Amino acid sequence: MQNLYIGVMSGTSMDGIDIALVNITAKNVTSIASSCYPMPSKLKQQLLALCETKQTTLQNLGELDHQLGELFADSINQFLKDNKIDKQQIKAIGCHGQTIYHAPIGDNPFTLQIGDANIIAAKTGITTIADFRRKDMAYGGQGAPLVPAFHKAVLQDPQINRVVLNIGGISNISVLIPNHTVIGYDTGPGNVLLDCWINQNLGKSYDKNGLWAKTGKVSQDLLNKLFDEDYFKIPAPKSTGRELFNLPWLHKKLAGTDLKSEDIQATLVELTSLSIANEIKELPILKKLSCELLVCGGGAKNPLIMQRLSTLLPSWSVLTTDTKGINGDDMEAIAFAWLAYCRINNIPSNIPEVTGANQAVCLGVIYQ
């Protein structure tokens, strides 16, 4: 008998609504179907402006929350129709929502995801789980990253040292070493700066196959300025997002430089690659170990990033998660289907050693 869940994810890059249909049991997680539905350009621009300027009105914020709820619900209903799935078969939807601001450090830490889950539940007629991060934060955690628990469930091998690397807008790692506690955190920017820069200069949403970056040369001076950022110096647990690594941040770093735009793109590729490799190489547990690096997310399709990771980690086997049976494009959507499964079955789904929470808890709020 199938135990079907739907996962919905729109990440930092906001390049679409990823939806996955997953059959989940206590022993197996099997992806059955997946699709990506476009985010309307006007809505995307409004969300990007909100994230980058950090300025809005209560009316604008409320309307964007409503619009996203409608978009998620309509996309799910279209997905069900496209795949000829009866909604009665679905146990629950796990929807991450769109992160607007993530501030896990400070006197009053918080995280804000929008996309009204009440609308999703009402328009689909399916129990919906959302607001996955704040319960972890209520117990002293950062509410992120959450995918290491899923990576552990589906990719840990008792005989193999593995690091799962997700390169979305932000890059995060899950360190899966046999007989060792899982380590996981955000290493820094993934595609977010690359996408912002090519969009500003060429009007494209992303640099396909890194072709534009290939025409440029890395600037060591600019790279040094980019690495002059506190986030790269602080120890884990740590998490970040577009509220730090964004176009205004990049423009501040570019002040006084007269580099060609393609040279800046090439340098941003090096920032992403080197910030990941540096974190991996500096982890004590990984020194002197032979490991697999399993890459997923949009960055796995950038040959420049993949080549640099192979060069920077010469003794490692650099692969995509596709080689292990999990489509890298669907990884996060599948993860939130799994998180919904955990919530419905009252299974704790955070890893305190990863997020910094003081205990393991069930994540997500149920909307019916």
Closest CA to 167 of 248, 35, 269: 269
Provide mean pLDDT across the span 336-362.
Answer: 97
Query: Are residue 317 and residue 345 in the same domain, yes or no?
Result: no
Provide mean pLDDT across the span 139-156.
Answer: 96
Answer yes or no: is 17 a known binding residue. yes
- Rounded to whole angstroms, the Cα distance separating 152 from 351 reads 10
User: What pLDDT, on a 0 to 100 scale, did the predictor assign at position 290?
Assistant: 81
Q: Is the pLDDT of residue 12 over 90?
A: no
- Rounded to whole angstroms, the Cα distance separating 227 from 193 reads 13
**Chain mean position to CA 346:** 24
For residue 284, the tally of other CB atoms under 10 A from its CB is 6
CA-CA-CA-CA torsion sign (26, 28, 32, 37)? positive
Answer yes or no: is 12 a known binding residue. yes
Answer yes or no: is 16 a known binding residue. yes
CA-CA-CA-CA torsion sign (153, 157, 161, 162)? negative
User: What pLDDT, on a 0 to 100 scale, did the predictor assign at position 86?
Assistant: 96
Q: Is 120 left (phi over 0), alpha (psi -120 to 50) or beta?
A: alpha
Query: Are residue 178 and residue 138 in the same domain, yes or no?
Result: no
The whole domain housing 153 covers: 147-324
Query: Are residue 165 and residue 196 in the same domain, yes or no?
Result: yes
Query: Are residue 299 and residue 319 in the same domain, yes or no?
Result: yes
pLDDT in tens, 204-249: 999 999 999 999 999 999 999 999 999 999 999 999 999 899 999 9
Query: Are residue 129 and residue 197 in the same domain, yes or no?
Result: no
Answer yes or no: is 13 a known binding residue. yes
Query: Are residue 289 and residue 249 in the same domain, yes or no?
Result: yes
Query: Are residue 124 and residue 16 in the same domain, yes or no?
Result: yes
pLDDT in tens, 55-77: 999 999 999 999 999 999 999 99
Q: Domain total for the chain?
A: 2
Residue 198 belongs to domain with CATH number: 3.30.420.40
Query: Are residue 126 and residue 64 in the same domain, yes or no?
Result: yes
Query: Are residue 247 and residue 206 in the same domain, yes or no?
Result: yes
Query: Are residue 158 and residue 207 in the same domain, yes or no?
Result: yes
Query: Are residue 187 and residue 218 in the same domain, yes or no?
Result: yes
- pLDDT band of residue 346 (cuts 50, 70, 90) is very high
pLDDT in tens, 248-291: 999 999 998 999 999 999 999 999 999 999 999 999 999 888 89
- Rounded to whole angstroms, the Cα distance separating 242 from 69 reads 21
Query: Are residue 24 and residue 81 in the same domain, yes or no?
Result: yes
